Amino acid sequence: MASVGPIVWYCDSAQWTAVTAWPSNTAKAAGALVRQNAAPTVGNERVFVCIVAGTTTNGTEPTWVVTKGAKTTDNTVTWQECTGQPGVNGDTTNSPTWLQNKNTAVTLGLIIYDSVSGALQIVSTAGTTGNGSAPSFSGTAGTTTADNAVTWTSLGAASNFAKWAAPFDRLQSAVATNWMAAGNTLFVGDDHAETQSSAMTIAFPGVLNNPNNVYCVDHTVAVPPGSTNLATTATITTTGNSAMTLSGSFALNGIILSYGSGAVSATLSFGSFGGHLVRADNCSFKKGGTSANTTPILGTSNTRVQLFNTTIQQGATGDLIGVNGADLYWANTPSAIAGATLPTTLLNAGFTNITCVLDGVDLSALGSGKTIVGAGSSGGHYSLQNCKLGSSVTIAGTPTGVNTTDVVNSDSSGTDYQFQRYWYQGTEVPETTIVRTGGASNGTTALSAKITTTANSLWVSPFEAQPMGIWNPTTGANVTVTLRGIWNAASLPNNDQVWFDCEYMGSSGSPIASFATCTKANNLAAGTALTADTSSAWDSLVAARQNTHVYTTGNTIKVASNPGRVFFCTSGGTSAGSEPGGYASAVDGGSVTDSGATFRAGFRFLMAVTLSAPQPQLVGDLYCIVKAALPSSTFWIDPLPVLS
């Protein structure tokens, strides 16, 4: 059996510094603690406990053996490495026991707590422990106890060791090989400030189903700290052009990661290949370098990065957040973009096969001139849901490939109806002016879906709107599903220019989807005109025509003489001093000359499909996915399906 070592460790640079530095020519009793006097190399900072009393060397500090549990001879004193273990940091609750290590091969330096003697015992000779009753341990520091092949040395009463008496100086040292194990917890003092001027790698031993946990805690409270003692001020910093890498599976709480300083482009990267979980709660990531970097924060392939109430601060306007082959879930973060330097583009969409979800994140610091999702081409999917946005921010750059961005209920004002989609083939945004009377509404605001295609849309690769759902209560009978729309054109659109697919439950034995469509049969077939809709009114919220008014192309008006229709300005100019008679007689698609301006009545249409082969067999939601393939065109669709 492997030894049962500590499951909790302690790290605090300020408290490590407070440990008594090694003194020359000084008597030391067993159980005394010291740290190196001369500054050790980065990562080799340790605390040592005296196991053989005596007098230290007169003059030169010993050459410390800094491997785990190693002994160092210092004149007549023997020291043993003990850094970070709970017992010597005042925490007997989390100290291993002999019973846990019964009949076990224990390693040099393991410290246990013996409740009978009330003392800490350290393995001073490694081996396999006994298989009978526990040894009679001594409470007197320096006394040894034989245990089968093992020798234990008493460190004296556990109460002699104050809280944070022997912590690690650096988090990266605590996670080094042979110290922390997968699943272990590390308490980091709130006054911890770890820094180095070279690249930093913190290699957590945690794995996907057994990550390490790191908590910033109030170092002044009793140990072990609890859930009410969490803090947010521990810092880990690199300076200069020094990258920071945190690998393995781990969860951070209350840690500030600062990387780089000066005119450099240092990066912060998470995870590693092989599938890992990275989580940060109440943390802050700060890029100190002022040179732009398109990947200053990077998630590695096969890693799930989760950020909760965790802010990000960039050092240059050209900095982005990059997620390469990983998943990012960022949630519940007020004032998420910290600092005065605001990135021009927040998310780098140039990486492959990623899913990035921002949920309840306050991005309001990014306003006009800023973009949330860059114009990438690599197949990533980005989603903003229930987020606060800056006024006039650009949601997404036009994708140059198969990247997609969806927006659900995210805005800069007090709206709750936003639905947006940005694809290579087109965009979808909510419309609150050109809306169908009696159509879709969020309860207070009438809505339509404004779909605008790019030059890249094709029948085989159309723009696909977000699903439009409705509850279907009918089974065992034909159901006709109808959607209505309008566009600014002289004729009806064809069913290969805009259409919808309907997904419903056509099997009684399972919820497997059945599909029906109102488009043409295949790409070799010719499209046919959709059906005209002569009854729907789309003008209730459109501005009324004004006399002698300057209109520009794209403006919309309504006239009382021809209700229900929306007139689109197709040629800008100043309208006549009175309403021309052509408005009253205009039909869908017809143009009206209005002095210096020209208007066209929008063409209203409907799309319908009958669910008959098979008929619906289970009640439940059915979904309509509107698809648009005519390049560089705009359609307004009422997203409320009608069933008959």
CA-to-CA separations, 214 to 42, 285, 384, 604, in angstroms, rounded: 21, 15, 29, 60
3-class state of residue 202 by DSSP: strand
Find out whether 225 and 197 touch, Cβ atoms under 8 Å.
no
The CA-to-CA distance between both ends of the chain, in Å, stands at: 70
Which one-letter DSSP state was computed for residue 159?
A: G
User: What is the token pair recorded at 305?
Assistant: 């990065």
Asked if 46 contacts 16 with a C-beta cutoff of 8 angstroms, the reply is no
Q: Give the C-alpha separation, 539 to 564, whole Å.
A: 5
Angstrom CA distances, 564 to 448, 533, 588, 607, stand at 15, 11, 10, 19
CA distances in angstroms from 570 to 171, 541, 567, 590, 592, listed in the order given: 66, 20, 9, 11, 10
Q: What is the DSSP string of 273-319?
A: TT-EEEEEES-EEEEEE-S--S-SEEEPTTEEEEEES-EEE-SSTT-
Question: Does the bond joining 224 to the residue before it have cis omega, within 30 degrees of 0?
Answer: yes
* Cβ count near 170 (within 10 Å): 23
Half-sphere exposure of 612 (CA within 13 A, CB side): 7
Q: How far apart are CA 173 and CA 9, in angstroms?
A: 11
State CA 521 to chain mean position distance.
42
Residue 452 pairs in a beta bridge with: 427, 634
Cβ pair 379, 353 in contact under 8 A: yes
Q: Which two tokens stand for residue 370?
A: 């800023």
- The C-alpha atoms of residue 413 and residue 416 are separated, in whole angstroms, by 9
Contact (Cβ atoms closer than 8 angstroms) between residue 470 and residue 641:
yes
The alpha-helical segments, DSSP class H, found in 415-544 are none
Residue owning tokens 């246990």: 112
Single-letter amino acid code for the residue at 323: V
Give the SS3 label for residue 384.
strand
Backbone angles phi, psi at 261, to 5 degrees: -155, 150
Residue 231: strand, helix, or coil: coil
Contact 124, 71 (CB under 8 A): yes
Q: Are 160 and 32 in contact, with CB atoms under 8 Å apart? A: no
Using alpha carbons only, give the angle 346, 193, 163 rounded to the nearest 5 degrees: 130
User: If 0-12 CB within 10 Å is exposed, 13-18 middle and 19+ buried, where does residue 457 land?
Assistant: buried
d(CA 627, CA 453): 10
pLDDT recorded at residue 398 = 86
- Given a cut of 50, the residues of the chain with pLDDT beneath it are none
* Residues 541-564 as b or e (16 or more Cβ within 10 Å = b): bbeebeeebebeeebbbbbeebeb
What does the block give as tokens for 532?
A: 């005209």
Asked if 500 contacts 627 with a C-beta cutoff of 8 angstroms, the reply is yes
